[in-house]
Amino acid sequence: MNKKLLSAAIGCLMAGGMMAQAPVNDDCATAIDINSLFGGALNTAVVGGPYTNTNGTTANDPIDGWACYGEPGGTGTAPELNNTVWFTFTGDGNQYFIETPSLNLVNGITDGDTQMSLYEGTCGALTALACNEDGPNATSTYYPAAITFFTTPGVTYYLMVDGFSFNGAVSEGDFNIEVTMVPGVACGDTSVTAGTSTANGTDFCEGDTVLFTGTGSVYPTAGTVFGIIWVLSSADISNSTDPVNEPSYLGSTNVITSPNGTTTVQLIYNTANFPPNTYYITPCVFGNGTAAGTITSLADITIDPACFFGGTSVMFTLLDPQDPQCTGAGINENGSNASLDLYPNPVSNMLTISNKENFGTAVVTITDNVGKTIDVLNMASGQALNVNTEKYPSGMYFISVSQDSKIMKGKFVKK
């Protein structure tokens, strides 16, 4: 039996027969007012406390809003409340990052392991808004909870903080509440957009790298899970606000929080992982998401359709390896196809391109591993082409030699 259940069963402390003293904010109705922590300078933390959850109880606590808690062993399969304490404040329309750190506290809560839930409404009739088990500053040994959210002016909020119970060992002790006003984008902000996206081609053969680039995205920063995510589907799902429930949904990337609004996604075509077919990839931006456990794809997130914005789908085709466009274009071990020699490979300075088919004057295009064109050169009929690669950064490069409808491909490594 853990200490909390033992205390409840006995009803008193053995030492001196005194009743265990619960924190003054043990209940929603006695929540501590923390309004003084809000309204500070942008990006400047305001710290309150220390507070404690030692001897806290769960009487009158809500039955929902804490599904993200990680009990029993961090898996979140059986979330529970153990020793909760409460705080209250009033919204002012700004976005805030709220964290419960405990570093440098003499009696800091075990492993800094807090959990938190945010509500609005009145005690006894609360509406759950956000939940967090481990915030962005958590490490492998220190686990403070944190949430980021937009407040609504005049709305009363309640914050419930609990200690994580690791297989029955409940985290108890002191913690601070740290509130930082942060710049953000609300769900209804007119600047929210998935931006524009492009691919480095339309048709790809096995072994090719498919690169998708998104620019100009602006995602909402409301809630506990927000950012950019790329969704793979078998049909066009442009502007969808619920891709997971689209019949064509195949999967997605993890959540990306790219501060400059530019993201790249790379797919290496392997028929073992991607059968030949036509696919679509769609950039989506969202906020107000929640998750009960580890996020690996959009399917792990509960989304708010009112705060989810699908962009325009980009179509691309993974060709059958026997497709005429791919036949003869495969790369062999020396980095060329059967009719194209590249040597030396890897190269330090001068690369020689030899066209064994000798099919006339051709155009040679050299691209880097993200699809950017590095050089476009002319190759005379019957002659090898020497390319000075000293100016190229180290890495993998791709060559396309084309003349009318004939195309040969190769790759080389610059040392």
Examine residue 356 and state whether it is found in any structural domain, yes or no: yes
Shared-domain flag, residues 133 and 210: no
* pLDDT, greater one: 21 or 83: 83
**CA distances (Å), 193 to each of 216, 226, 239, in order?**
8, 13, 11
Residue 103 has pLDDT above 80, yes or no: yes
% of residues, the chain, pLDDT over 70 = 89
Examine residue 327 and state whether it is found in any structural domain, yes or no: no
DSSP 249: E
Which of 134, 158, 181 is where one domain is finished? 181
Shared-domain flag, residues 137 and 110: yes
DSSP string across 334-366: TSB-TTEEEESSSBSSEEEEEETT--SSEEEEE
Shared-domain flag, residues 14 and 38: yes
Which pLDDT does position 342 carry in this prediction?
A: 80
Least confident of 13-22, 33-42, 82-91, 396-405: 13-22
Calculate mean pLDDT across residues 280-298. 87
DSSP string across 366-412: EEETTS-EEEEEEE-TT--EEEE-TTSPSEEEEEEEEETTEEEEEEE
Shared-domain flag, residues 149 and 177: yes
Which pLDDT does position 296 carry in this prediction?
A: 86
With the C-alpha atoms ordered 74, 83, 140, 49, is the resulting torsion angle positive or negative? Answer: positive
CA nearest 47: which of 92, 93, 104, 86?
A: 104
CATH of the domain at 281: 2.60.40
For the entire predicted model, the pTM comes to 0.55
Examine residue 273 and state whether it is found in any structural domain, yes or no: yes
Domain residues for 104? 3-181
Convert the pLDDT of each residue in 118-143 to its tens digit. 999 999 999 998 899 998 899 989 99
Examine residue 323 and state whether it is found in any structural domain, yes or no: no
Strands 395-403, 385-388: pairing kind: unpaired
Examine residue 330 and state whether it is found in any structural domain, yes or no: no
Residue 299 has pLDDT above 50, yes or no: yes
* pLDDT, greater one: 206 or 234: 234
% of residues, the chain, pLDDT over 90 = 49
Which pLDDT does position 164 carry in this prediction?
A: 95
Which pLDDT does position 414 carry in this prediction?
A: 79
Supply the mean pLDDT for the chain: 85
Shared-domain flag, residues 105 and 221: no
CA nearest 212: which of 283, 260, 310?
A: 283
Convert the pLDDT of each residue in 230-271 to its tens digit. 999 999 999 999 999 999 999 999 998 877 778 889 888 888
CA nearest 86: which of 21, 151, 165, 32?
A: 32
Which of 181, 206, 224 is where one domain is finished? 181
Examine residue 332 and state whether it is found in any structural domain, yes or no: no
DSSP 290: B
Examine residue 386 and state whether it is found in any structural domain, yes or no: yes
Q: What is the count of structural domains for the chain?
A: 3
Shared-domain flag, residues 154 and 224: no
Quick one: 407 exposed, middle or buried, by C-beta within 10 A (0-12, 13-18, 19+)? middle
Shared-domain flag, residues 391 and 268: no
Shared-domain flag, residues 81 and 166: yes
Alpha carbon distance 132, 105 (integer Å): 22
Q: How many CA atoms lie within 13 A of 351 on its CB side?
A: 28
Residue 1 has pLDDT above 50, yes or no: no
DSSP string across 153-202: TT-EEEEEEEE-EETTEE--SEEEEEEEE-----TT-TT-B--EEEES-S
Residue 354 has pLDDT above 60, yes or no: yes
Residue 285, H or E segment: strand 277-289
CATH of the domain at 112: 2.60.120.380
Shared-domain flag, residues 27 and 71: yes
Shared-domain flag, residues 18 and 115: yes
Shared-domain flag, residues 100 and 211: no
Examine residue 335 and state whether it is found in any structural domain, yes or no: no
Convert the pLDDT of each residue in 52-71 to its tens digit. 999 999 989 999 999 999 89
Q: Where are the alpha helices (DSSP H) in 21-116?
A: none
Shared-domain flag, residues 97 and 145: yes
**CA distances (Å), 261 to each of 42, 196, 231, 333, in order?**
21, 10, 17, 38
Residue 16 has pLDDT above 60, yes or no: no
Residue 10 has pLDDT above 50, yes or no: no
CATH of the domain at 374: 2.60.40.3080
Residue 207 has pLDDT above 90, yes or no: no
